[in-house]
A = this chain, B = another copy of it.
Amino acid sequence: MTSVGTDSVPFHGAHQPGITTPLHARGHLIAFDLAPGAGRKEAAALLRRWSATARTLMAGEPAGGGPAAGAGTDGGHDTGIALDAGPSSLTVTFGFGRTFFDRTDLTARRPAALDPLPAFSSDHLDAGRSNGDLWIQIGSNDALVAFHALRALQKDTGAAARVRWQMNGFNRTPGATPHAMTSRNLMGQIDGTGNPKPSEPDFDRRIFVPATPAAGTPSWMAGGSYAVVRRIRMLLDDWEKLSLTRQEQVIGRRKSDGAPLTGGTETTDPDLDRIGPDGKPVIPSNAHARISTPEANGGAAMLRRPFSFHDGIGPDGTPDAGLLFVCWQADPLRGFVPVQRKLDRGDALSAFIRHEASGLFAVPGGAREGEYVGQRLLES
């Protein structure tokens, strides 16, 4: 047996968990709207309850008393779904959507970075599955532990908030590959090669709001980050009809190992100027890897930390599957937006994907001991 179950991630810290945490085998995204009549006070109480639950569950303990307290205990109790298992690297991450601030009379403290994302020509967004006042990302390497957390956090909302949308995702099970490697998506492509690495000197600057935010960024976002969430449906029936060569031209990388079409290994820089014997660029001008590369986007970088999703067969008979794209950046206007704008105009991949939902959330820094997430926004 392994340490899969006993692995745990600390709740407290400079940043919230679930951002630089390795990909989880299972994840839930859930957005809530505050209930009519609920305002800043109710939101503060909810964030306090949520933080307490997240801290407890991430430590592998049952929520709010429970079966462990004895068979005779009545009243509030843990559902028991995660009993026996360890926390399995559970993380819970909380964010605020743009609409949260008006509803809590905190408009003056709303970061400009939460201004609505621009519309992209390839968007097919479902408003009912987009945005929301509050957002939670749950990740765990055990599906029952993740579901247990989802139910406990939902129960915490009481009358203060209502579910707006909820999505489920997955990645590889720890140990499924012989050693840790970049994950694949449901197109079979290695996905995440270009991600900034925590070891890089400008990683923190790109992903997190500094401890002393620059002028114009509210101080409550110190140590925070912005999450862009996109439900990206993959048109797999169309994609799988392409030859392997054609798929590799669309992406600009080899499918087998993720190396650029100009050679080397997954981590070799692509040679974007190389011309093939046919007089055309070896990495086509509309290849996804060319257009999304940070070098082509003024050094913009975001940390992509997605889940795959598969919700069975859609009403049209095609698989309702793809990527729950979640990316993290200190400033969406320098991370997601410029890259997506370029992809929207010229990415060969765009014929095989459809952005079906979108969210943008301000994710405050991690809670200190004795503090709850968002306290610096809600109580100062």
Q: A residues engaging B (CB < 8 A)?
A: 1-6, 25-26, 66-68, 71-75, 77-81, 83-86, 88, 141-145, 147-148, 151, 155, 163, 165-168, 170-179, 181, 184, 186-189, 236, 240, 243-245, 248, 254-256, 308, 310-313, 317, 319, 321
Contacts A147-B310, A173-B142, A181-B84; A67 near B4 (Cβ below 8 A): no
Query: A173 to B3, Cβ gap below 8 A?
Result: no
CA distance A20 to B147 in the complex (A): 26
Given contacts A141-B173, A142-B176, 15 further A-B contacts (CB under 8 A): A1-B174, A4-B174, A4-B175, A5-B175, A71-B254, A72-B244, A80-B189, A84-B177, A88-B176, A144-B186, A145-B176, A147-B310, A147-B321, A167-B312, A311-B312
Which residues of B are found within 8 Å of A143, using beta-carbon distances?
25-26, 170-173, 308
Which residues of B are found within 8 Å of A255, using beta-carbon distances?
67, 71, 80, 83
Min CB distance A259 to B, Å, is 9
Which residues of B are found within 8 Å of A68, using beta-carbon distances?
256
CA distance A255 to B93 in the complex (A): 29
CA distance A65 to B171 in the complex (A): 25
| Closest CB pairs A-B (n = 7) | A80-B188, A4-B175, A2-B175, A142-B176, A74-B243, A67-B256, A143-B170
Q: Chain copies in the assembly?
A: 2
CA distance A285 to B348 in the complex (A): 65
Contacts A240-B155, A312-B168; A141 near B85 (Cβ below 8 A): no
Nearest-neighbor residue (CB-CB) of A79 within chain B? B188
**Which one of B83, B142, B186 lies within 8 Å of A188 (CB-CB)?**
B83
Query: B4 to A83, Cβ gap below 8 A?
Result: no
CA distance A79 to B80 in the complex (A): 39
Min CB distance A58 to B, Å, is 15
Min CB distance A154 to B, Å, is 8
Can you list 25 A-B pairs with a CB-CB distance of less than 8 A?
A2-B2, A6-B178, A66-B244, A72-B244, A73-B245, A74-B244, A77-B244, A80-B187, A80-B189, A80-B255, A83-B255, A84-B177, A84-B181, A85-B176, A88-B176, A142-B172, A142-B176, A143-B170, A143-B171, A143-B308, A144-B172, A144-B186, A144-B308, A151-B319, A311-B312
Query: A71 to B181, Cβ gap below 8 A?
Result: no
**Which one of B75, B168, B184 lies within 8 Å of A83 (CB-CB)?**
B184
Min CB distance A182 to B, Å, is 9
Nearest-neighbor residue (CB-CB) of A246 within chain B? B74
Min CB distance A279 to B, Å, is 19
Which residues of B are found within 8 Å of A3, using beta-carbon distances?
175
CA distance A169 to B72 in the complex (A): 32
Query: A244 to B310, Cβ gap below 8 A?
Result: no
Which of A236, A244, A245, A308: most chain B Cβ within 10 A?
A244
Contacts A143-B173, A175-B175, A313-B166; A71 near B4 (Cβ below 8 A): no
